[in-house]
Amino acid sequence: MSQRPAVFATRNVPDAVKERLTRDYDARINEADTVLDADAIVREAEGAEAVIVSPPDRMDAALIARLPQSVRAIVCYSVGVNHVDLDAAKERGLIATNTPGVLTQSTADTAMLLMLGATRRSWEGQSMLRAGEWKGWAPTQLMGLELGTRRLGVMGMGRIGQAVAHRARAFGMEIHYHDVRRLDPEQEQGATYHETPESLLKVSDVLTLHTPATPETYRFLNAERIALLPENAVVVNSARGDVVDDEALIDALKTGRIFAAGLDVFNGEPNLHPGYLELENAYMLPHLGSATVETRNAMGFKVLDNMDAIFAGTEPPDRVV
């Protein structure tokens, strides 16, 4: 009988991660890579000491209560942990971990892709080409917005927010930000600090969201705050879908109050609000923020580092509960 700890991964993992996972653990992996319902997770976790979960897994209190008694840890293959009821995990005595610090560059790149895609009307252009409707260059065709003449408002100036600001400076953008605390001058690198989100919104020609999903940030960008943005503003969200009020943003995109939006995350993923699908000025990606070989491998290795520590009886480096 194997002496390796038994673990269950709810989704498939990259090859490099799988090699180490199957070498060091008695691993059961959902290689079909489909989202499992609660019954399937409970069934497949039988006998496992750890469950590796991803954002689509809704690990609520009811599901956590049903997990087999063998389970000691919920190991998140993500930085965000809003899909896990941490209070319920703590109450049951489970360890929970995540994968911070390795998504910064890939997510910042994605934010810039969203920014460029939205301001330059990329979806409309691609749609025109694929439909065979392009009739050639024209002086007024698909005129977008230049980044270099605009102010970037960074809502949440953590590692990713700072990396986005660094990239945006290369485009000539003027950087403004809000966070719960002001950065030191070296980290600010000339960015203008705003004590309130409302002050930031008023100068954000392009607003990029980099806040975690918490009760305080739930539907942060609502109709009242959208109304504070300058005319022809662009909204970028590569953080969490929960921080945007979909109905308010869709209405602003429809009416032209907002020029465009670049979105990588959505409420209720993968079942995003159907209103977005009707909008040519919504440039959208299917949650690709961390989807590079380098980053997904690094996330997986953090998952394994955390599990190694748990089963060695030492403190996991990325413990959240």
The residues carrying an active-site annotation are: 240, 269, 287
Q: What separation in angstroms does the CA of 78 have from each of 55, 90, 245, 303?
A: 7, 19, 23, 9
Name the DSSP class of 228: T
Q: Pick the closest to residue 244 from 252, 254, 232, 233 (CA basis).
A: 252
Question: Token digits for 298?
Answer: 């690094």
Length of the chain: 321
Q: Where are the beta strands (DSSP E) in the chain?
A: 6-9, 26-29, 50-53, 73-76, 95-97, 151-155, 174-178, 192-193, 206-209, 233-237, 258-263, 282-284
Q: Identify whether the C-beta of residue 175 lies closer than 8 Å to the C-beta of residue 169.
A: yes
